[in-house]
Amino acid sequence: MGEHYPDTVVVDGSIPSAPTMSTLGEKIAVRKRRKPEAIVDKTRINRAIRAIEVRVVDEDGEQLGVLKLQEALEVAQEKGLDLVEVSDKSRPPVCRIMDYGKFKYQKRKKQNDAKKRQTVVRVKEIKLRPKTEEHDFQFKLKNARGFLTDGNKVKVTVQYRGREMAYTYLGIELLDRFTKETEDLSIVEVKPRAEGRIAQMILAPKKTS
C-alpha cells in the first residue's frame, strides 16, 4: 500500500509526487544580513548650498557680511577654498570659507585622539578564603596594589565552604584588613558585606590631582 500524503488531489488517477528538499528549499526565503549603514556627510558645501544669500566668514574668522550665494562662491574660489554651510538655522545661513577636506581630516584626527585619551577602567577580582595563609594574603595584596596603581578597580571576594560558614566574621575582618593595607591607593566604593557564601567589597583607585 502506497504512502498517503495529506491534502493531495487525485487527477486522472495520478498522485502528485511528495515534495523534496530541493523543491522546499526553493520556497524558503533566505534572510540576508543588513549591511551597516554608511555615515553620510550631510554638510552642504559650494553648489549644494540652497540659500540665495548667505552670511560669510572667511578663513581667518573675519566677517564678510551678507553676500549673494554666487558672490560668496566666487570669493571662495578665488582663494582656492570651499564655501561651507556651518549654520543652516540662521537667517540667512552662516557659511565659512575653508579647506573642507583639511577640516574633515583634522576633525577626524581630534576624535581619534580623544578616544585614545579615554581611560578604560576594568574591575579585577582577588579571591580569598577565611583562613588564607599570610604569604598568600601578601601575594594577593601585592597584585591588588598593582591593579589599583594601573587605574583599575578591585573586587575582593572571600569565599566560604562547608563549616567555614560558622566563621563569616573572619571574612569581614579580612576585607577590613585589605582596606587598611591599600588605603594609600584606594577608596572603598562598595563596603564589605556578606551575601550567602561570599563576602565582598570593591575598591576604586584614588584620583590623582
Taking CA 91 as the corner, what is the angle to CA 87 and CA 94, rounded to the nearest 5 degrees? Answer: 35
The three three-digit cell numbers of residue 190, written as one number: 562598595
Asked, as a colleague might, if the bond just before 92 is cis with ω within 30 of 0, I would say yes
Q: Where are the domains of the chain?
A: 46-114, 123-205
Q: Could you tell me what percent of the chain has a pLDDT over 90? A: 48
* pLDDT number for residue 128: 92
The one-letter code for the residue type at 178 is F
CATH number of the structural domain 123-205: 3.30.110.10
Q: Mind listing the pLDDT tens digit for each residue in 131-172?
A: 889 999 999 999 999 999 988 999 999 999 888 888 888 889
Q: Do domains 46-114 and 123-205 have the same CATH topology?
A: no
Question: Residues 48-65: what's their mean pLDDT?
Answer: 91
Rounded Cα gap, residues 79 and 58, in angstroms: 10
CATH for 46-114, among 3.40.50.2000, 1.10.3090.10, 3.10.20.80, 3.40.50.720? 3.10.20.80
pLDDT-derived band at 32, boundaries 50, 70, 90: low
The three three-digit cell numbers of residue 177, written as one number: 584588613
Nearest to 71 by CA among 85, 55, 86, 60: 55
Question: Residues 187-191: what's their mean pLDDT?
Answer: 92
Residue listed under C-alpha cell 594577593: 140
Cβ neighbours of 149 (radius 10 Å): 11
Question: Residues 170-175: what's their mean pLDDT?
Answer: 90
Radius of gyration of the chain (CA): 35
